Structure 1
Amino acid sequence: MAGSSVIVMGVCASGKSTIGEQLAKKLGRKFIDGDDLHPRANIQKMASGQPLNDDDRKPWLERIRDAAYSLESKNEHGVIVCSALKKIYRDQIREGNNNVTFLFLDGDMELILNRMRLRQGHFMKENMVKSQFETLERPDNEPQTLVVSIEGDISGVVERSAAELLKQQPVEEAS
């Protein structure tokens, strides 16, 4: 059996890192936070309040794609966090990876703005939320893609996400 990756995607403050980490633990999978794969120049640009452009994102998306490929080729299962806002970005990650499922954490701008105001120590700024929603190309009808509402508490989102993933990628849950 080949390895697989779940790419937890969505706009900033949708809960990608928190949900991704808890989901990985629940399913007994390796966790990779895509924020850790950003080149230093990207982090500096975002910290100064500037959104990334496609040229900025290219090396980052290559690192995400390579992480997914590494898991698949080693017969490992992982959860990778990556905003993957545009279809072209998701297609770049899918390139060469047969067992990638995208999990879209879906929430409206008001919910995201409220969460953003509660965050501390993250390089994304509140004024970038609008830019993220403008960039977002919803993955509603894409293959190997699940959409999960982020309404409610984190544990509920993790439970719903795990249930949907286990229907699509049967891997035993960690005890």
Structure 2
Amino acid sequence: MIRKYLRLIIAGILFLGSIALFVKALVSLGILILFVSGLFVLFHFKNEMNLFAFYFVRKNKFQSASKILGRVKRPEMMIKTQEAYYYFLSGLIESQKQKNSAAEKHFKKALNTGLRMDTDRAMANLNLSGITLSKRNKKLANYYLLEAKKLDKQKMLTAQIREIEGMMKRI
């Protein structure tokens, strides 16, 4: 529990140090220390391993993203949103490796833990729909697909939703 807030404690100490530097008229050094303390606050809310993994997933380098997520020893010690995105990224990587049961487990855990953005929840539901459809469970796949449609307000996943609907008609 203390580890979660260690970054905030360090940021607070650096912030107080930057104020002391401003008082001593060392403005440029004070600004630099203030910037560093801001980075500690940012990394409290955005885990750097998740950020690096997101970067590699966007570049379609799933092997590198898998290595980076493998460095996280205890994701349950993260803040809940960070933990949710850890499981979301793990689910994406596992689905690319064609390990559907592990991917399904990770996507369900990400949804239960609490993904913040509707698009990410829609993407997780869409992947769960595809996984359950591959297991020939049409009713559950339809449920996940309807959830994905509800959450996809910006219509970013319409092509993938139509593809899953086409697969459902064939089964």
- With normalisation by structure 1, the TM-score equals 0.27
Q: Normalized per residue, which structure has more helix?
A: 2
Q: Which has the higher contact order (CA 8 A, sep 6+)?
A: 1
Q: Normalized per residue, which structure has more strand?
A: 1
Q: Who wins on radius of gyration, i.e. which is larger? A: 2
